[in-house]
Amino acid sequence: MGRPRAVPNSVHETLLKSVMPSGLTVWLNPKKGYCRTVGVLAAHFGSLDHEIQVGHETRRIPDGVAHFLEHKLFEDEEGDVSLRFSERGANSNAGTEFTKTSYHFSCVDRVEDNLETLLRFVLHPYFTDATVRKEQGIIEQEIRMYDDDPDWVSFNSLMQALYHRHPVRINIAGSVESIREITPELLFRCHEFFYHPANLVLAVSGGFDPDAAWDRIERVTAGLSTPAGERHRRQILDEPDSVANPRVERSFAIVRPQVCIGFKDTPLRGSPDEILRREVETQMLIDLLFSSSSPYHRELYESGIIDDSFEAAHSGEPEFAFSIIGGETDDPDRFVASVFEIIRKAIQDGLDEQGVRRIRNRWLGGFVRGFNSAEAIAGALVTAELRAITLDDMLDVMSSASRFRLEERLRNHLQESRSAVCLMRPSAPLK
């Protein structure tokens, strides 16, 4: 495509896009008057990916490889890459999710130098037996640390209750046993398979010179080979519609009981637009019923069933989707019964038209406000590219949300028969 070309959009933001000869997709969003710049380089590779192709053979990889690889890429022959960012006054970090791994930096100057560092350390891996063994010890400690976190344990327990065999039920970091199977050779193979340019997206947003940034990106990536393949296509697994275990209880070192209710959605084998619509409408529905502006939330709070720890959220991807409602409570059974009663009442009475309009306007306002944040824009551009949608698609779906469509989502998704409860009880009374 050559130099980035302007992409028209409804909010009149400066968006420039190019697909390089190597297959790397680049988005640039220069913002006049901004001091900070954020760069994000993401791979379409996450904890759900458990297989690689080696020749004509498909091989399973250990749990936690995506997360392990994220850690190891920050170390090369010169040492800790994050120190190079710090020396320039830049912040850097990374994160592994179910479906992608993202590497990012933020800075106020030397943008081109930071872009070069980001591209070089992600695209050019360095692994040795000694550094892999060292990282195994570090991640083992991280896994054990999370095992002491009641929120994390509760979430993973709920995923194992909702899903029979889908990898969403597996800890993103893997297990102590699985990471011991990881070798330098395996990491190189996974990097070659998942980190080829066509499976990566780079987005830069903030106060930078787009011409200077593009020239540096071109120079750094000039030696990259042609695409090793198309963007990774993740298969939708054969996961039963039913939940694996409708109720799980655990004792934990906490002060008050903690309860989470999960609702399992059916994978939607539709177009990217259809999947996006289901995700946004479900998130709107959860907000309408359980956010702090909902009358149901006020009733629960005033009756003492919930407190400020109460949360309700939806997570949706093409391969899975679920909603979680939970928090600390002195009466877990009453908490669970009240949530299901709210859902039954909403199904019976229907949703309030004014409430739907309020939620829709709030979402639209939040979407537009997000364009004031370089972090939000860079993250949204990466996510949209990997899911084959646009920012305008997001805006269109929010704008067209209706009471009818949200009521349909209510009936189809928040079903008690497709729910699971995870209850964490204090392991011992306080003395």
Q: Which residues form the catalytic set?
A: 70
d(CA 200, CA 228): 12
Calculated CA dihedral for residues 147, 149, 150, 153, nearest 10 degrees: -40
d(CA 426, CA 311): 20
3-state class (DSSP) for residue 145: helix
Q: Describe the crossing of helices 129-146 and 65-72 by its angle, rounded to 10 degrees.
A: 120
Which tokens belong to 110? 């030397």
**First and final C-alpha spacing in the chain:** 69
The amino acid sitting at 19 is V
Integer angstrom CA distances of residue 277 from 262, 271, 283, 356, 388: 20, 10, 10, 15, 13
d(CA 260, CA 282): 18
3-state class (DSSP) for residue 284: helix
346: nearest Cα among 296, 283, 276, 395: 296
